[in-house]
Structure 1
């Protein structure tokens, strides 16, 4: 009998679902064209972004240190890592429902029945083991009872795949959090790099502004001396003063932007900027790879972690439909136990003390006021939302890559034009100064040429920063190179 009971319990515990009510998962069709527009940018000869680790992509040691600090200390990234732990625990909890829970229990009790109880007798001496004799012939009884056994409580036989669907949904949600964390890592790297490049831009523009301010202060002093000896007019002097204040205003604005930009960096790296950082490189020596191969839009489906995360969320929503459908069908659960019981502790494990019980429980929903139907509608609606979110994520990824490719083409042309414009403005400023000294032109012509030269210098530096930031944006838009990075991501 012992073997029969054990076989029944273990055999039923291994029953798996014979079918699944989940809709067959099909990846939605690409909501974009199959190729990027040919006129966005010529195909580059560089390697794919996924094969370039971020340490290889960014060559500036100072920037590498900032990125490493951000991956280690950023609080938002830390939350993303903890969400992975949360989702992993939820998945393990749900997966545990696919197996029976075995509990080992034991008890010991001592029971006394008086002469007036059900165990009492009259007319006898009460001469029983553990009993006593009561005057008048009535007897009392005291018994010991010991029990030990293994129990299975309410294990659901997953005939319709309800538990399995819930487990699959939890697993997909867990995988989605992993991809979401990778997506945030890429965004964090891009944010740190962009803030750093802006800082380099502001430093160079501030240096230009400071040099311009010094030159214009000297010019103002010369103009003052000329005014005192009558060699120039008060109008020319005031125009020179205005030119100086414009440069001073621009310098103050740039210094304010630099201070605010560095505050952003402190938030990104999760603390104060260390004092032992390597010296920075200028924009022209950053060495950022600008010849990344774009590949095909379909490559984004397996390279972009945000798309992979959206697809796992879609898988999770699809699995929940199966669980909602299974709720309409009968649910069978098992309870059972196997063990030993005896009145004597030393005879507890004897054959005569063997006990077992087995009981299936059938539950069939008859009336639930539309709850199950509403849960199914909710699961279907959430699956449709997940489909729309997945398609939107793909469209946004396509747009980001297309924008970066277009910018890569036209920023190169813009920088070339601005270089030529800067050379022209320098020659113009020199000619205007020469014409003014020879009395051919008014001083207003000199002031105008100097303003345009200053603006051209500032614009060229800003555009160089945009070109490098665009290379970073393309690197991230194509999926980055987290998998190619030799060092493990923070928190993994």
Structure 2
């Protein structure tokens, strides 16, 4: 009995041997902790709320709610439910999971049942299988069950399962990345749309002010206080102010089309309510993942890691393809000329078969396939390292943008206040006849430019806050 157990025990041990690389990893460069802490200084502009960077804080899953707009929250919920890119990524994930399950199923015993009926006429020169030697025309019924089992000695099947499961993990992380990208793009589009609305309002007010000034100058020309050149200069300023509006309006329509696409509807349909720039609050606390946490949580980095694991499994499968392969099979059934007699005494049959195949010569095909798989693994490692480095680049850019946004906001706020005061003084002096047209034109242009810059600075703070949440992986 012990002798009978030994071959099966050896086969079980061999079946547990999986060739190829295991625990595939690669060295990546992490930024120094001191540099990360230096970027975590509070952002405290005089013209806006302070933003505190919290190193090591977890990115909230619903990070967009930190902007304090219920209208924005409703838009994000609609995008997560209806966006086509998310639906595509979700379908790809479901497909990959089913393919992984199918790959695992291929490593299990395969059991098939079959039934066959044949109408036969036998020649007289052959031996008649029937009891009646004069009956040469009969029906033959065959029913059988077949069991086949590939003995996975060197892990070819297990490596294929690992590769398929890694591919499913890639798709899972890509779904998370798609959600992060869609939400971030939607919030950015909403911020840009609100900024454009405010810029259009400022530009419209600038046009109105320039028209009022033109009317004033035309009256003074009629009184002989100024010449036609002054009026022509103001007409030029008015036309310039009017020329600012069309590009802003075109950009506004584009952003509205982007928002429509992100929430899953065609442009031109009625959009739901959109928040104004004043309704969007700057997040007062911003998380900053530690370098190791960022690598573990960012979806594109995790997808690259899973892809690297799958490439390692493909190398193992390519190596196993060059090694012996054992196939076991068995079948049992019955054959009779009557359906009810197939399993009567003497009619059942059974077969046991085992075979081993060792590739000897394939023209170098299997060797080259192994080398190609190894090259793919090297490429996957490089892609993983690139994804890690890009993650830190994105975080660095977002932090730098937030720091400089505070400085830019203060400068734009001071410029807007000063330009508004200057334009008020010059307009009053013009009414009293003590200011020239050139001074008025310069003050009017400076006021319009300062207003646009202030709006853009406010929008930039919001946009770079979104960029940081996205760079940290979106909290999925």
TM-score (norm 1): 0.86
The Cα of 1:322 is off from its aligned counterpart by 0.5
The Cα of 1:318 is off from its aligned counterpart by 0.6
The Cα of 1:24 is off from its aligned counterpart by 2.3
SS of the equivalent of 2:147 reads: strand
The structure-2 alpha-carbon separation of the partners of 1:429 and 1:392, relative to structure 1 and needing over 3 Å to count, comes to: same
Alignment deviations for residues 299-324 of structure 1 (CA, whole Å, 9 cap, x no partner): 11221111111110010001111111
Larger radius of gyration: 1
SS of the equivalent of 2:19 reads: coil
Alignment deviations for residues 7-40 of structure 1 (CA, whole Å, 9 cap, x no partner): 9xx9999897221112122432332314344443
Alignment deviations for residues 439-484 of structure 1 (CA, whole Å, 9 cap, x no partner): 55422012101111110011000111111011111111112133xx
Partner of 1:248: 242
SS of the equivalent of 1:50 reads: coil
SS of the equivalent of 2:287 reads: coil
Q: What is the distance in 1 between the residues matched to 2:59 and 2:71?
A: 23
SS of the equivalent of 1:339 reads: strand
| Corresponding residue to 1:67 among 76, 82, 86 | 76
The Cα of 1:437 is off from its aligned counterpart by 4.6
Alignment deviations for residues 291-345 of structure 1 (CA, whole Å, 9 cap, x no partner): 2120311111221111111110010001111111111111111222122344554
Residues 345-354 or 249-258, more deviating: 345-354
Q: What is the distance in 2 between the residues matched to 1:270 and 1:242?
A: 44
Is residue 50–residue 303 contact of structure 1 (8 Å, CA) maintained in 2? Answer: no
Could you tell me which runs of 5 or more consecutive residues in structure 2 were left unpaired when the two chains were aligned.
43-51
The Cα of 1:349 is off from its aligned counterpart by 3.0
The Cα of 1:240 is off from its aligned counterpart by 1.4
Is residue 58–residue 288 contact of structure 1 (8 Å, CA) maintained in 2? Answer: yes
The alignment covers a number of residue pairs equal to 458
Partner of 1:335: 329
Q: What is the distance in 1 between the residues matched to 2:405 and 2:340?
A: 90
Partner of 1:93: 102
Mapping of residues 48-447 of structure 1, within 5 Å: 48=57, 50-54=59-63, 56-109=65-118, 111-119=120-128, 129-132=131-134, 145-153=140-148, 155-272=149-266, 275=270, 277-278=272-273, 280-343=274-337, 345-350=339-344, 352-437=346-431, 440-447=434-441
Is residue 49–residue 478 contact of structure 1 (8 Å, CA) maintained in 2? Answer: no
Q: What is the distance in 1 between the residues matched to 2:357 and 2:94?
A: 35
Alignment deviations for residues 381-400 of structure 1 (CA, whole Å, 9 cap, x no partner): 10111111111111111111
Is residue 339–residue 356 contact of structure 1 (8 Å, CA) maintained in 2? Answer: yes
Partner of 2:46: none
Could you tell me which runs of 5 or more consecutive residues in structure 1 were left unpaired when the two chains were aligned.
1-6, 121-127, 133-139, 483-492
Is residue 13–residue 99 contact of structure 1 (8 Å, CA) maintained in 2? Answer: no
Mapping of residues 4-23 of structure 1, within 5 Å: 17-23=15-21
Alignment RMSD: 2.7
Q: What is the distance in 2 between the residues matched to 1:50 and 1:215?
A: 46
Q: What is the distance in 2 between the residues matched to 1:117 and 1:190?
A: 80
Residues 98-107 or 84-93, more deviating: 84-93
Q: What is the distance in 2 between the residues matched to 1:109 and 1:430?
A: 104
The structure-2 alpha-carbon separation of the partners of 1:53 and 1:281, relative to structure 1 and needing over 3 Å to count, comes to: same
Residues 355-364 or 75-84, more deviating: 75-84
The structure-2 alpha-carbon separation of the partners of 1:182 and 1:119, relative to structure 1 and needing over 3 Å to count, comes to: same
SS of the equivalent of 2:199 reads: helix
Is residue 190–residue 275 contact of structure 2 (8 Å, CA) maintained in 1? Answer: no
The structure-2 alpha-carbon separation of the partners of 1:13 and 1:358, relative to structure 1 and needing over 3 Å to count, comes to: farther
Alignment deviations for residues 235-261 of structure 1 (CA, whole Å, 9 cap, x no partner): 211121112111101122211211122
Partner of 2:473: 479
Q: What is the distance in 1 between the residues matched to 2:322 and 2:444?
A: 81
SS of the equivalent of 1:292 reads: strand
Q: What is the distance in 1 between the residues matched to 2:32 and 2:393?
A: 13
Q: What is the distance in 1 between the residues matched to 2:72 and 2:36?
A: 33
Partner of 2:41: 42
Q: What is the distance in 2 between the residues matched to 1:250 and 1:149?
A: 83
Is residue 41–residue 409 contact of structure 1 (8 Å, CA) maintained in 2? Answer: no
Is residue 49–residue 480 contact of structure 1 (8 Å, CA) maintained in 2? Answer: no
SS of the equivalent of 1:332 reads: strand
SS of the equivalent of 2:87 reads: helix
